[in-house]
Structure 1
Amino acid sequence: MAKQKPETRETPETPDNTRKDPDQWVTGDETMTGAQASYLQTLSEEAGEEFEPELTKAEASKKIDELRERTGRGIDH
């Protein structure tokens, strides 16, 4: 019989820590990745904003989160 993983649920006492704050990334000050640039360009167009190609990885991550919230793209409902 295979072991089953115990079900875990996020509670205020046990927040999801699988996503680190971009400000704490070791490589956060490096140029954004190609994937980030592509997705950010798409989101920027959908939001009617100018694409900023010189963002760092951390800045791009924050901008992606902001634009996803504004456009509703990629947000689970």
Structure 2
Amino acid sequence: MSDRNKPKTESLAKVEKDPEDWVSGDDPMTPAQASYLKTLAEQADDPDAYADGLSKAEASKRIDALREKLGL
């Protein structure tokens, strides 16, 4: 398969936007983020990682940190 015909998923997977740069980053975290963050905080035995009222960007950063801590 030539490079021209290869799926572009490899290059797209490497593109991540910093949560600080999100247009909606200051919006409240979504219910899905809240649930996942709470679950990860419990699994990591880090109850302070979860807090009500986080922004989408802050929740995303905390989720990433907990995933790294847990090796996920």
TM-score higher than 0.5:
yes
Name the counterpart of 2:52: 53
* Partner in structure 2 of residue 44 of structure 1: 41
1:23 aligns with 2:14: no
Aligned residues: 65
User: For the aligned residues, what is the CA RMSD?
Assistant: 2.1
More helix by share: 2
Aligned to 1:32: 29
User: More relative contact order in 1 or in 2 (CA 8 Å, sep 6+)?
Assistant: 2
Q: SS at 2:26's partner residue?
A: coil
- Structure 2: gaps (5+ residues): none
Q: CA deviation at 1:48?
A: 1.1
Q: Which runs of 4+ in 1 moved over 6 A?
A: none
Could you state the TM-score of these two structures normalised by the residue count of structure 2? 0.77
Alpha-carbon separation, structure 1, partners of 2:41 and 2:5: 40
Once the two structures are TM-superposed, the CA of residue 59 in structure 1 deviates from its matched residue by 0.3
Deviations 1:25-62 (A, max 9, x none): 00000100010000000000011112212210000000
